[in-house]
């Protein structure tokens, strides 16, 4: 049953991204509404699938792919929630939806080592949730950084295509980027704090590399926010630092777990 839900979710996301691409390419609000509808349907099925891992069992059993899938859910759901707003982030799903489809297919086909979350590890559950929310928000910031780079390149080439006409102005995107980084930075700070409080043995639980990389990413985002506040950093500097922070965060969240669980066939424990 769970695999069928994943398949339905992936199909919904795939249809949604096709209509969203057509909406951006053809300036059609009707196609964007269809994209929103299928994204919402996919999010509902995705939530149902994840609940079977995280909420329903007395002792949840999760794996790297389950965590990635939950991150994908957050990354899709956050832009969807902003759709009614004036400065909607929904078009960020042009990148988030295809990635989510790949993750869902992987979750359904690949058997990864599992981790049991017990009542004694409730504090770590808080850490996991804040980590996922932080990753979701900052991933969207990464997508907007790519949008800014693309639009800046097209403007320099005097290429005013439908993408330029559909997305907000470059200054608006940069402002939205900084708001996303500020929000993600706050949640990432909470994630690091709860991790340092509730993790009993960083190296014994194979979390040393993950923690070091997460703190490094936190320092990159902190430096960017300081530079934006004190020195007015924006444009290419902000984009490069954002993408650097996201790459480090990706290595922290998934690189270390991929090596540990898939390649070495070991697992960190709570």
- Domain ranges (residues) in the chain: 118-263
CB 114 within 8 A of CB 63: yes
* Average pLDDT for 173-185: 86
Mean pLDDT value across the chain:
79
Half-sphere exposure at residue 188, Cβ-oriented, CA atoms within 13 angstroms: 28
**Helix H segments across 160-207?**
162-166, 170-198
What percent of the chain clears pLDDT 90, i.e. is strictly above it?
A: 22
If you search the block for the tokens 């490069």, which residue do you land on? 240
What is the per-residue pLDDT across 138-173, written as a single tens digit (0 to 9) for each? Answer: 888 888 888 888 888 877 777 666 666 666 667 777
Q: How many CB atoms lie within 10 A of CB 118?
A: 12
CB 61 within 8 A of CB 116: yes
* Average pLDDT for 124-145: 80
Spatial neighbors of 249 by CB under 8 A, at least 6 apart, are 135, 138, 188, 213, 214, 217
What is the per-residue pLDDT across 67-90, written as a single tens digit (0 to 9) for each? Answer: 778 888 988 998 899 888 877 888
Residue 182 buriedness (CB in 10 A; 0-12 / 13-18 / 19+) = middle
What is the per-residue pLDDT across 42-74, written as a single tens digit (0 to 9) for each? Answer: 999 999 988 887 776 666 666 667 777 888 898
């Amino acid at each position: 049953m769970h695999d069928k839900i994943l398949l339905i979710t992936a199909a919904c996301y795939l249809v949604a991204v096709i209509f969203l691409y057509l909406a951006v390419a053809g300036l059609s609000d009707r196609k964007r509404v269809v994209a929103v509808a299928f994204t919402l349907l996919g999010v509902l099925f995705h939530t149902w699938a994840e609940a079977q891992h995280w909420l329903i069992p007395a002792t949840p059993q999760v794996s790297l792919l389950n965590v990635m899938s939950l991150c994908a859910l957050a990354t899709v759901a956050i832009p969807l929630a902003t759709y009614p707003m004036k400065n909607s982030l929904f078009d960020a799903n042009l990148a988030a939806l295809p990635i989510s489809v790949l993750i869902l297919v992987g979750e359904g086909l690949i058997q990864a080592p599992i981790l049991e979350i017990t009542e004694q590890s409730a504090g770590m559950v808080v850490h996991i949730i804040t980590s996922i929310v932080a990753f979701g928000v900052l991933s969207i910031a990464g997508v907007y950084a790519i949008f800014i780079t693309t639009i800046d390149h097209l403007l320099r080439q005097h290429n005013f295509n439908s993408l330029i006409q559909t997305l907000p102005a470059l200054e608006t995107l940069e402002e939205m980027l900084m708001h996303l980084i500020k929000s993600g930075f706050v949640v990432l700070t909470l994630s690091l704090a709860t991790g340092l409080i509730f993790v009993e043995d960083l190296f014994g639980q194979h979390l040393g590399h993950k923690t070091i990389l997460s703190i490094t990413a936190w320092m990159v985002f902190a430096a960017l926010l300081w530079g934006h506040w004190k020195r007015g950093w924006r444009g290419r500097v902000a984009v490069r630092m954002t993408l650097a922070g996201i790459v480090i965060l990706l290595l922290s969240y998934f690189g270390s777990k991929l090596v540990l669980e898939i390649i070495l066939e070991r697992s960190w424990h709570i």
